[in-house]
Structure 1
Amino acid sequence: MRSENEPGGQKGRSFIEEARRAQIIASAIEVIAELGFAQASLAKIAAHAGISKGVISYHFAGKDELMEQVVEHTYGAVAEHVFARMDGITSATELLRTHVMAVAEHMLGHRTQVRALGEIFGNLRTADGNPRYGMHTNEELYQGIELIYRLGQRTGEFRQFDVRVMAVTQQAAIDHMFAYWITHPGHDLEAHATELADLMERACRA
């Protein structure tokens, strides 16, 4: 069990608490993917996890917080996989290709997570009724891609272009690649990612 304190002076969660939260998040992903956002009640998620609804309420303030944690958990796993694949690569061209291919590589084994994310992105709202997720929450993604572009421009691998425009374009292409794959389950995701990586490389090449 952890004894360290979290930032802000709050005591860190124990190993058992973290394991329980992970179990709930995993069940939430399965229920959302199967039933859709509207039908994914805390009661149904609890039943899937084999726990009481009160256990979920102990760990999460409500459905909205649980949905946000599903997104955080999923994106965290993607980032960990992508960064591991990028480790040691110094070429901007290879970093660009690896980014596109590694995201697809990870999600290829996590179709349920992709479907759940789509449901959350399309339905979760803030208190004032605005979408919780969307282009306004992509800033960190855009900035990460821009770092690759700027490296390529410094090394001469890439031509000069507006890195924000290209980052928005690349992220939109990745998002739609997954949306198409979910809509058409027989679609070859790996081949799609390869074509997209080729396209982005040609678009950036000096």
Structure 2
Amino acid sequence: MQVTSRSVTSEARRAQVLEATIAVVAEEGFARASFARIAERAGLSSTRLISYHFAGKDELVAALVEHVVAGIGAYVGPLVMRQDTARGRLRAYIEGVVGYADTHRAPMAALLQVVMSGAWGQGAAGPSDVSHLEQILREGQERGELRGFDPLVVASTVQRAVEAVPFQLQADPDLDCTAYAAELVELFDRATSADP
């Protein structure tokens, strides 16, 4: 029983450190996200409490990326899978990622900072992996829904378009993300559709 209690406490502390890290990176930038600054933000008495849970900044950054990417996946994945067509899945992906960026601004800003610094680690799948989009596009082509094009090029372009949303939100916090997503959906539907 005691082990479970420690485990729950340990997980709560890790989550606390992770949330503080997201806040510091999002608000102050990756370069300023020192253990001292994170401990202060988390209300911890010592940076040793961070070191106890994360072996170093690389491990903390990897946990941040994993946390945010998992959040995006948990939000967007079910929206995409509810669709029966490639066009519908592409639309749901674009709307989902843009919507997530709008409603989860701090995690997305932190992820953006990490990506721009190249700090998510060697050999780890980065947050810009486009294999899921390529699969949607290839399946649409195989079913005749989508015209012939290079799925990697289009998937990469879609991904870069949705990744731009946190930049846009930093420049314009009042950005209408619903309209923004609708414009992207229209653009990529016209670009990929097999219909004339």
Q: TM-score range by the shorter chain?
A: 0.7 to 0.9
Instruction: Give the drift of 1:124.
Output: 4.6
Provide the secondary structure at the position in 2 that maps to 1:194.
helix
User: 1:32 is aligned with what amino acid?
Assistant: V
Q: Structure 2 length as normaliser, TM-score?
A: 0.87
Cα pair 2:24 2:38 within 8 Å, conserved: yes
CA 1:46–1:138 in structure 2 vs 1: closer, same or farther (change >3 Å)? closer
Residues 1:175 and 2:169 are matched in the alignment: no
Change (3 A) 1:94 1:22: same
Identity %: 38
Q: Which letter does structure 1 place at the counterpart of 2:84?
A: T
RMSD (Å), alpha carbons: 2.2
Note the 1:23-172 alignment, pairs <5 A.
23-51=16-44, 52-125=46-119, 132=121, 137=126, 141-172=129-160
Is structure 2 residue 189 aligned with structure 1 residue 201? yes
* 3-state SS in 2 of match to 1:185: coil
Q: Report the TM-score when normalising by structure 1.
A: 0.83
Structure 1 unpaired stretches of 5+? 4-12, 126-130
More helix per residue: 2
Which gives a bigger RCO, structure 1 or 2 (Cα 8 Å, sep 6+)?
2
**Cα distance per residue 1:71-94 (max 9 Å; x no partner):** 110011000111121233211111
CA distance in 2, matches of 1:193, 1:23: 32
Partner amino acid for 2:50? I
Cα 1:156/1:168, change in 2 over 3 Å: same
Assess, with a 3 A threshold, how the Cα gap between structure 1 residues 177 and 50 changes in structure 2: closer, same or farther: closer
- One-letter amino acid matched to 2:141: Q
Distance 1:137 1:81 in 2: 18
Amino acid at match of 1:20: R
CA contact (8 A) 1:121 1:132 kept: no
Could you list the runs of 4 or more consecutive aligned residues of structure 1 that deviate by over 3 angstroms after TM superposition? 136-139
Kept in 1: contact 2:105–2:166 (CA 8 A): no
Q: Aligned residues, how many?
A: 188
Q: Residue in 2 aligned with 1:19? A: 12
Contact 1:111–1:182 (CA under 8 A) maintained in structure 2: no
Residues in 2 aligned to 1:16 and 1:147: alpha-carbon distance in whole angstroms:
40
